[in-house]
Amino acid sequence: MGSINGSKNDECVRLLGAWPSPFVLRTRIALNLKRVAYEYLEEEDTLNSESVLNYNPVHKQIPILIHGNKPIRESLNIVMYVDETWLSGPPILPSDPFDRAVARFWDVYIDEHCFTSINGVAVAKDEDERKAAIAKLGQCMALLEETFQECSKGRGFFGGENIGFIDIGFGSMLGPLKVLEKFTGFKFIHPKNTPGLFHWADRFYAHEAVKPVMPDIEKLVEFARLKTRKQTTPSLETQLKSIRNKKTEMTQNGSNGTVKLLGTWSSPFALRGRIALHLKSVEYEYIEEATKPGRQSLPSRHCSFLGSLRRRKVLLNRSMRWLERKKTPGGAAAGNLMGCLVALEEAFQKSSKGGGFCGGENIGFVDIVCGAIVGPFSVIEVFSGVKLLSPDVTPGLVQWAERFRAHEAVKPYMPSVAEFVEFAKQKLNAQ
């Protein structure tokens, strides 16, 4: 920001900060209000920064204001220092000692209660803790609404006509509050519950000392997302270590550690995986992708059989006509649907050798592969009005399909015909 440097001295001013930090924001607003020219130094890795360690060895935190070679630490302390050092621009703290004490009181309250509650929501271990932190934050807002009415006395800011100490202290919290609103869906500053704060926030954002330094909310949201992911995702080194340990476990006891299956309830391909895992008594976490936020509730990737439903109807009618003409279905029919089924019937008779499944007494590889299309086939039957598996043409497959559906490794995961039909209807309507 261009400056009229009204300091007592002309020593250079530097600020060590980081763009997402609300505490750094406070100091930048104060410097802008006083029109102080300063060099802003972005510290990307506060924890490992030599300058931060050097200038703030006690807390190892930013912001740090370096005036000449004197470091000033702690955001509120820096704001007071800026106010006392540069007389250019409007005063930030009131001149009356009682009013000054009131302003300081509220900024301490904001740090000790409001910021702590925001943090409390972010780090809550369970729903109860989260609710308690949200409730606490709601109380903070109600109290600050009252304070705003008292301090502003009908003017635009806590500080009166212009931005003051409480405005800076609380205004720096607006970014984190907005991020929290996005994450929780809860509105902390609301036109009905906190009308004073609601309009004050608009004025604060629009102020010329604030606007150029206020971080973009979308950027803050993305930053918070990455930060939470980093906190919950183990480092690459830890992950590699755990993979190595799992390999050791595998050679020791044959188990291969945690198993997760990502699928959609309607996917015949996910169904294959679930049946196989069940047959092998593998414990696993099933993650339903269709119900995840940001995903389509009607997945199309895994359900190409539905995408081509109309084409299949045409194919099916052609097959039926072919079947009528030939009366003697056989291998030559491969390549069309009915021909496939007839070929499968033959294969089933051969491989089951009188057992209930293609694999013999129990479900095997071919059963799993073919069984996955039993659901989609029933949809085509309903839509086309044609029986694909009929006791006349494919008697072995008709009974096999019934046994397959009823098998304990299939039943819990196979959607009902009605569910499939409903899904297909929605899918076709959406096309």
- Contacting residues toward ligand GSH, per CB under 6 A: 18, 21, 23, 46-47, 60-63, 74-75
Within 8 A by CB and 6+ apart from 377, the residues are 388, 389
Residue 56 CB, shortest distance to ligand GSH, in Å, is: 8
Nearer to ligand GSH, 118 or 401 (CB): 118
**Coil, strand, or helix at residue 66?**
strand
Nearer to ligand GSH, 118 or 344 (CB): 118
Nearer to ligand GSH, 49 or 194 (CB): 49
Residue 233 CB, shortest distance to ligand GSH, in Å, is: 19
Report the 10 Å Cβ neighbour count for 55.
20
Residue 31 CB, shortest distance to ligand GSH, in Å, is: 14
Report the 10 Å Cβ neighbour count for 29.
26
- Terminal-residue alpha carbon distance, the chain: 54
Alpha-carbon span 16 to 63, nearest angstrom: 6
Backbone angles phi, psi at 128, to 5 degrees: -65, -45
CB–CB of 324/334 below 8 Å? Answer: no
Alpha-carbon span 375 to 218, nearest angstrom: 43
What does the block give as tokens for 35?
Answer: 């029109």
Nearer to ligand GSH, 21 or 267 (CB): 21
The angle, 0 to 180 degrees and rounded to 10, between the axes of the packed helices 75-85 and 97-109 is 150
Nearer to ligand GSH, 220 or 303 (CB): 220
Alpha-carbon span 185 to 193, nearest angstrom: 16
Classify residue 80 by burial, with Cβ atoms within 10 Å: 0-12, 13-18, 19+. Answer: buried
Residue 62 CB, shortest distance to ligand GSH, in Å, is: 4
Residue type, 109: Y
Residue 155 CB, shortest distance to ligand GSH, in Å, is: 27
CB–CB of 55/16 below 8 Å? Answer: yes
Kindly state the DSSP code that residue 67 receives in the 8-state scheme. Answer: E
Within 8 A by CB and 6+ apart from 430, the residues are 298
Residue 73 CB, shortest distance to ligand GSH, in Å, is: 7
Nearer to ligand GSH, 115 or 204 (CB): 115
Nearer to ligand GSH, 60 or 130 (CB): 60
Residue 23 CB, shortest distance to ligand GSH, in Å, is: 4
Nearer to ligand GSH, 55 or 357 (CB): 55
Residue 74 CB, shortest distance to ligand GSH, in Å, is: 5
Nearer to ligand GSH, 56 or 194 (CB): 56
CB–CB of 103/165 below 8 Å? Answer: yes
DSSP E strands in 23-102: the ranges are: 39-42, 64-67, 70-73
Residue 204 CB, shortest distance to ligand GSH, in Å, is: 18
Report the 10 Å Cβ neighbour count for 21.
21
